[in-house]
Amino acid sequence: MPRLLFFRHEAVRAVLCALASAALVLYFGAPYWRDHPVHGAVASLACGGFAASGALLATGGRRRRLTGWLLLAAAFCWPLAWLVSRDSGLGPSISFFGLYGFFVLFGTAILSYPAGRLRGRADWAWVIAAAITLVGGEVVFQIFTEPEWAGLPPTVTWPSGPPIRAVWDVGTRLQAAGQIVLALWFAGLLWRRSRWLSNLDRRIAIPVQVTAAALGLIPSIQAAVDPSTWTDLEQLQSFYFTEGVIALVVAVALVSGALRDRWWELSAPHRVVRITSSGTSVATVRIALADALRDGSLRLYFWAPSEDGWVDVRGRPALPGHTTAVEGDDERWRIAISGGQHPLAIVDVDGSLRRRPLLVDAVLRAGGQALLTAQLQAAASANLAQILAARARLEEKRLAERQRLEQELHDGAQRRLGDLARRLEGLTGDASDPAVGSVAGECRDEVLATVGELDALAHGLLPAALREKGLHGALAAVAARLGLTVRLLVVPGRYPAAIEATLYFAVCEGLTNVAKYAPGASVRVEVTLADHWLRAVVVDDGPGGAHPKPGGGLAGIERRARVLSGRATVESRPGAGTRLAVALPLDTALVAS
């Protein structure tokens, strides 16, 4: 309720400033408005709009204050320009300074919008150049010219000085060219600034920048094309009206932008509450905060007691410590949120939101309970990720043990049995007793059969082709050995040994079943990588009807896939072939989250 009352007071101040500025326009330009009431209405609306937007911005927070006061000053300079309608006194002389003062103040305000400050030397250079060209040039004009040259009656009060016609002739052309240069320069600065705007600022600043650039370019080009604008009072007043029409559009963009910006600041916390009320998952909380702050790059980190450190939304260790998370460069703003005795979360947002501390604080307060729930979920995901990682490490140890056994069989028993077989071969040929040679031959055959069995056992533990050639080479060798027609598509690359071995044995089981039950079927094997998941599919056009049996090969595939946090499915309708699919995550945190 206090915020709404404050907003209402801001509106009252804006209305009062708008009425005062509009009244001055009507008063100073009264001689012209009598014959052109529509022009008077447009000019008063435009000036009132500038004053209202300036008042809203000046009282809307520290970052808007400079822009607001500059717009207010410009809004009260604009009425002075209509003193040109007076036919005596200092009014016409002051009117030109009011006009150029309006453009300098207005341009400076727009360059500082919406950040509330000028950005770099280029902005300051434009402000200085505009003040010298417009205001300084007018001082020179009024000292060395006559009022009649500007289309004014001789009864007006004009600064005294020696009139020099050449100053007027050359000066008007130089000033027209200078105004076009300033307008183009101004438009270029606005275009450059638009690329740096955050998403939150872009929606309110772009309409203002486009209309402001038009306000600078169109009158400058019009005055350059028709030099009589500065020598004919009627045309000069019509020129002011054109500026007023464009200024009215700028004022509407400023007022609507200021109101929408203020409304967003008031409604953003409620948006967080509304989005998180439907569910408080980690993803929902991040979406709610990113939507309220209009920051698609927002990242969340949560404190995980089991890790004694920070984890990301998937439960993976992310940041080394609290200090690293809070200290950052100007492009990012990392906000630490405490949960009492322990840290709760870190919200990493775009650095431009530093200029909106009240909005960020209100949004984070509104999402405090949701962040607490999300932190518990992230901590649970971290615990689950540890369990899954431990299972994966166990599988890797089992695989390493298989490799060791294979190497020992190859280097030990197989080699010694091979030597024994060669000796028996020699004994078979050299034995003088046929009975001895026959027994030696039988022993040799038994030894060779044993070597073959050991070789098959070692091959079943982990084939050498898988280690040396990867999945594609190993699977191609299996297909050739089984005599199947296989269309093999395997994504290139090497992957963790446990992942490759599990996929290899799963595909081998599928191909073995095809060779056993549908030897004439055509087979398609695909191994793909997407979203950090490695997937293998074995599809045949055989008779189908396969289903996992307890203790069978297909059931073993499912069991081994679960060990690595993956999944395996078999689809085999009678007469429709069989489809075996295995998916394994390359990162167990994907499953934990």
pLDDT of residue 21: 92
Measured CA angle at 346 (ends 334, 367), to 5 deg: 110
**Residue position matching structure tokens 């408005």:** 33
305 & 212 share domain = no
Q: Can you tell me the distance from the alpha carbon of 237 to that of 48, in angstroms, rounded to the nearest whole number?
A: 19
pLDDT of residue 7: 44
Q: Can you tell me the distance from the alpha carbon of 14 to that of 4, in angstroms, rounded to the nearest whole number?
A: 15
Helical (H) or strand (E) element with 335: strand 332-338
Q: Can you tell me the distance from the alpha carbon of 104 to that of 74, in angstroms, rounded to the nearest whole number?
A: 8
Q: Residue 389, Cβ neighbours under 10 Å: how many? A: 16
| Residue 262 backbone dihedrals phi, psi, to 5 degrees | -65, -40
Q: For residue 398, is it within any domain?
A: no
167 & 221 share domain = yes
- Pair type for strands 522-530 and 485-490: parallel
Do the beta carbons of residue 257 and residue 207 sit within 8 Å? yes
pLDDT of residue 132: 93
| CB burial readout 73-88, b (16+ within 10 A) else e | bbbbbbbbbbbbbbee
Measured CA angle at 410 (ends 407, 411), to 5 deg: 85
Quick: pLDDT tens for 332-370. Answer: 888 888 876 778 888 888 888 887 888 888 888 888 888
Q: For residue 462, is it within any domain?
A: no
Three-state helix/strand/coil letters over 484-543: CEEEEEECCCCCCHHHHHHHHHHHHHHHHHHHHHCCCCEEEEEEEEECCEEEEEEEECCC
261 & 292 share domain = no
Dihedral over Cα of 530, 531, 534, 540: its sign: negative
Q: Which residues are CB-contacts of 224 (< 8 A; sequence separation ≥ 6)? A: 176, 177, 179, 180
- The last residue of one of the domains, among 352, 383, 414, is 383
**Residue position matching structure tokens 């095809």:** 514
Q: Can you tell me the distance from the alpha carbon of 228 to that of 235, in angstroms, rounded to the nearest whole number?
A: 7
Domain count, the chain: 3
114 & 224 share domain = yes
Q: Which domain holds residue 584?
A: 468-592
pLDDT of residue 150: 77
Do the beta carbons of residue 21 and residue 47 sit within 8 Å? yes
Quick: pLDDT tens for 424-473. Answer: 566 565 555 566 566 566 665 665 556 554 555 455 555 666 777 788 88
User: Starting at the edge strand that comes first in sequence, how are the strands of the sheet with 343-350 ordered?
Assistant: 309-311, 299-304, 343-350, 332-338
CATH code of residue 24: 1.20.1070
pLDDT of residue 590: 45
205 & 347 share domain = no
185 & 295 share domain = no
pLDDT of residue 532: 84
- The last residue of one of the domains, among 383, 400, 426, is 383
Q: Can you tell me the distance from the alpha carbon of 174 to that of 47, in angstroms, rounded to the nearest whole number?
A: 29
Ranges in the chain, pLDDT < 70: 1-9, 60-63, 227-233, 278-280, 306-307, 315, 319-330, 340, 380-465, 550-552, 587-593
Q: For residue 131, is it within any domain?
A: yes
Q: For residue 443, is it within any domain?
A: no
Q: Which of helix, strand or coil describes residue 299? A: strand
250 & 288 share domain = no
Q: For residue 391, is it within any domain?
A: no
Q: For residue 392, is it within any domain?
A: no
Helical (H) or strand (E) element with 564: none
Residue 419: what residue type? D
**What's 322's DSSP letter?**
H
255 & 304 share domain = no
82 & 160 share domain = yes
- The last residue of one of the domains, among 266, 293, 308, is 266
198 & 49 share domain = yes
Q: For residue 393, is it within any domain?
A: no
CATH code of residue 531: 3.30.565.10
253 & 369 share domain = no
261 & 283 share domain = no
Q: Which of helix, strand or coil describes residue 310? A: strand
Residue 192: what residue type? R
Do the beta carbons of residue 128 and residue 114 sit within 8 Å? no
Q: For residue 463, is it within any domain?
A: no
pLDDT of residue 76: 92
**Residue position matching structure tokens 């209405």:** 41
Phi-psi category of 144—alpha, beta or left, where left has phi over 0 and alpha has psi -120 to 50?
alpha
